[in-house]
């Protein structure tokens, strides 16, 4: 008996969200590429389908799919082909804007398919607006917004509670909010043979030094302020009997000012610690940096963070980790087992509404808003120094925690496991949808049929009984006029030049004829638009 085909979904695809070959690499790009690669390798589906958010991205989807090893058939679904989504059963979007997708779904009916989104940052205006829009969207219990950590689920619930507390706000059904982590390809993060020696020499790490790696975007305002890292490393390095410490900043700077800030912090707070900077965007460089390191660290203190993929990569590479006790790190790193989570402190609840107003009013842009909010958070520097000192002093502790981290990454965060959780969710939502009474397609007010919303603009619409005849004063040929710029728009859903000529012949042969008498059994909508085009160009007139 053949095994059943695993649950499938159309992947909402815009090239920007799935490419990492870019100078300004963000976490969502790495997560998108990782999901696509993981889905291809571990889903077991019979075809790989993409719902083209950007219609022109079909060739990019095909190129990326083949690059990541897709051997199954590919299907690129144009944005208006909702029937293809109904056949698959699920639309998997790369962001939280599922309310807008649910409004579009009305054209097919709310029970046609499930819509599932995923959170990345929840600090931007666009993300917050998409979440706050959920109660007003026509969502159903068979829809879901995946939260990548318990912390981000908490943020989503806070935003929804505030939205629903407004007496003027809509209170429609809410989607499910399951917590499913991001994933990594654990096998691909195993240190290459010989890479440790090669990269330690390349980075100038002295023999016997303990290398502490921070990997990812190097931004003091949008990822992790370096003050805590260098202050803690400096304190640890000044302890008697400590081996030499070497900090490796593996990542990329958005601009020269960011690099200057990191170098200045290192010089001011950790002059005893040698350090080096390496571009970590090439995949081979990331593997080399992980191989060279003894400890992984990311003391994030930024509200745009939600999950934290880089520490999981460090865990998968077998490194003990020192992270801040912040957002998704609480789900990934077990205190005292895989490494250490360093306490954080924030200003009192309700004391930063002024920053929200400045951002909302446009007085500051998103980067300056993040820069201001990072000043609201402090990482416990003495606790971080204790963690670094303990790991630096004990190779056995590093080995034990690193092995625990490797096993946890493989058991919980490997894409093989995470893709299975996605597919289990899709199957559960499909069962709910199948059990619900069918909901017919109906108009969505904000995407109104123009022939309805603007019917009163015209003197009169075409109607049954209206008599038409060919106009003897018409000038030009249909094919020639249709080929002119602006002559016949291909996206209007009417007839092509050949069909228009046939329609005109029927009107000429019938003499004055009622509209309904010349319409075919099939394709009536296109034929009606063809009649109006013939009138528009002067070939036909009303009697």
> If we measure between CA atoms, which residue out of 84, 90, 41 comes closest to residue 427?
90
Tokens 């806070």 correspond to 158
317 phi and psi angles, rounded to 5 deg: -85, 0
- The dihedral formed by the CA atoms of 502, 505, 507 and 508, expressed in degrees to the nearest 10: 170
CATH superfamily of this structure's domain 186-412: Glycogen Phosphorylase B; (3.40.50.2000)
CA dist., res. 487 & res. 208, Å (int): 76
Exposed, middle or buried by CB within 10 Å (0-12, 13-18, 19+), for 256? exposed
Average pLDDT over the chain reads 94
Calpha distance 233→382 (Å, rounded):
10
φ, ψ for residue 69, nearest 5 deg: 95, 15
Position 16 scores a pLDDT of 85
pLDDT digits (tens, 9 = 90+) for 375-414: 999 999 999 999 999 999 999 999 999 999 999 999 999 9
Q: Are 115 and 86 in contact (CB under 8 A)?
A: no
User: For residue 1, what pLDDT is reported?
Assistant: 44
Q: Tell me: the pLDDT tens digits for 268-319?
A: 999 999 999 999 989 899 999 999 999 999 999 999 989 999 999 999 999 9
Whether residue 504 contacts residue 539, with contact meaning beta carbons closer than 8 Å, is answered with yes
Q: Is the pLDDT of residue 2 over 70?
A: no
Give the model's pLDDT for residue 20: 78
The pair of three-digit structure tokens given for residue 7, joined into one six-digit string: 């649950």
pTM of the model: 0.91
Residue 361 burial (10 A CB sphere; 0-12, 13-18, 19+):
exposed
Cβ atoms < 10 Å from Cβ of 16: 16
In 3D space, the residue among 428, 28, 84 whose CA is nearest the CA of residue 74 turns out to be 84
d(CA 300, CA 333): 13
pLDDT digits (tens, 9 = 90+) for 314-351: 999 999 999 999 999 999 999 999 999 999 999 999 99
Q: What's the average model confidence in pLDDT over 22-51?
A: 89
pLDDT value for 171: 76
Q: pLDDT grade, residue 135 (50/70/90)?
A: very high
Asked if the model's pLDDT at residue 448 lies above 90, the reply is: no
Bridge partner list, 103 = none
| C-alpha closest to that of 441 among 124, 42, 110 | 110
pLDDT at 3 exceeding the cut of 70 = no
Residue 247 contacts residue 212 (beta carbons within 8 Å)? yes
Domain positions in the chain are 10-183+420-435, 186-412, 448-542
Instruction: Give percent of the chain with pLDDT exceeding 70.
Output: 99
Three-state DSSP at 231 gives helix
CA distance 505 to 323: 76
> Tokens for 276?
């080096």
Dump the DSSP string for 188-251.
Answer: GGSPPTTHHHHHHHHHTPPTTPEEEEEEEE--TTTT--HHHHHHHHHHHHTSTTPPPEEEEEEE
């Amino acid at each position: 008996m053949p095994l059943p085909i695993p649950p499938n979904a159309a992947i909402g695809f815009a090239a920007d969200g799935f490419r990492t070959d870019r100078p300004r690499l963000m976490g969502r790009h790495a997560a998108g590429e990782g999901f696509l690669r993981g889905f291809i390798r571990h889903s077991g589906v019979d075809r790989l389908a993409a719902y083209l958010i950007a219609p022109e991205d079909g060739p990019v989807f095909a190129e990326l799919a083949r690059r990541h090893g897709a051997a199954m058939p590919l299907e690129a679904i144009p944005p208006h082909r909702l029937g293809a989504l109904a056949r698959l059963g699920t639309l998997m979007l790369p962001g939280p804007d599922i309310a807008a997708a649910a409004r579009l779904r009305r054209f097919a009916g709310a029970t046609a398919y499930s819509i599932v989104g995923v959170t990345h940052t929840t600090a931007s205006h666009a993300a917050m607006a998409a979440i706050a829009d959920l109660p007003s969207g026509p969502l159903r219990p068979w829809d879901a917004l995946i939260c990548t950590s318990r912390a981000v689920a908490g943020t989503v619930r806070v935003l929804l509670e505030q939205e629903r507390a407004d007496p003027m706000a809509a209170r429609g059904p809410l989607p499910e909010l399951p917590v499913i982590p991001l994933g990594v390809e654990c096998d691909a993060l195993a240190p290459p043979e010989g890479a440790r020696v090669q990269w330690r020499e390349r980075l100038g790490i002295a023999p016997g030094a303990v290398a502490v790696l921070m990997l990812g975007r190097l931004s003091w305002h949008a990822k992790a302020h370096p003050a805590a890292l260098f202050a803690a490393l400096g304190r640890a390095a000044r302890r008697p009997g400590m081996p030499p410490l070497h900090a490796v900043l593996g990542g990329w700077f958005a601009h020269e000012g960011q690099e200057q800030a990191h170098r200045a912090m290192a010089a001011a707070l950790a002059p005893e610690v040698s350090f080096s900077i390496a571009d970590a965007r090439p995949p081979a460089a990331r593997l080399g940096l992980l191989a060279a390191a003894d400890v992984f660290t990311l003391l994030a203190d930024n509200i745009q963070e939600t999950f934290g993929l880089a520490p999981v990569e460090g865990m998968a590479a077998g490194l003990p980790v020192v992270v801040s006790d912040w957002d998704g790190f609480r789900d990934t790193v077990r205190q005292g087992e895989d490494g250490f989570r360093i306490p954080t402190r924030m200003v009192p609840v309700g004391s930063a509404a002024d920053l929200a107003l400045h951002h909302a009013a446009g007085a500051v842009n998103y980067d300056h808003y993040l820069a201001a909010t990072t000043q609201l958070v402090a990482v416990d520097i003495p606790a971080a120094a204790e963690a670094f000192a303990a790991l630096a002093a004990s190779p056995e502790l590093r080995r034990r925690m690193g092995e625990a981290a490797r096993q946890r990454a493989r058991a919980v965060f490997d894409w093989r496991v995470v893709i299975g959780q996605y597919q289990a969710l899709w199957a559960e939502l499909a069962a709910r949808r199948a059990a619900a009474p069918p909901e017919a397609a109906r108009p969505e007010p904000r995407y109104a049929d123009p022939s309805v919303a603007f019917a009163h603009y015209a003197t009169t619409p075409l109607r049954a009984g209206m008599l038409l005849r060919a106009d003897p004063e018409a000038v030009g040929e249909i094919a020639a006029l249709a080929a002119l710029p602006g002559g016949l728009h291909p996206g209007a859903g009417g007839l092509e030049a050949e069909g228009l000529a046939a329609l005109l012949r029927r009107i000429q042969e019938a003499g004055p004829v009622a509209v309904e008498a010349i319409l075919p059994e099939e394709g009536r909508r296109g034929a009606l638009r063809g009649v109006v085009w013939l009138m528009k160009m002067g070939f036909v007139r009303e009697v």
